[in-house]
Amino acid sequence: MFQDPTVVTINIGKNGIDEKIIKEVENVLRARGVVKIRLLKNFREAYGYTREEVAIILSQRLNAEVVGIRGYVIALKKRRG
Over the stretch 55-73, which tens digit does the pLDDT of each residue have? 999 999 999 999 999 999 9
Calpha distance 81→23 (Å, rounded): 20
**Given pLDDT bands bounded at 50, 70 and 90, which one contains residue 12?**
very high
Predicted local confidence at residue 23, as pLDDT: 97
Predicted local confidence at residue 80, as pLDDT: 81
- Domains annotated on the chain, with CATH: 8-78 (3.30.110.60)
Q: What is the mean pLDDT of the chain?
A: 93
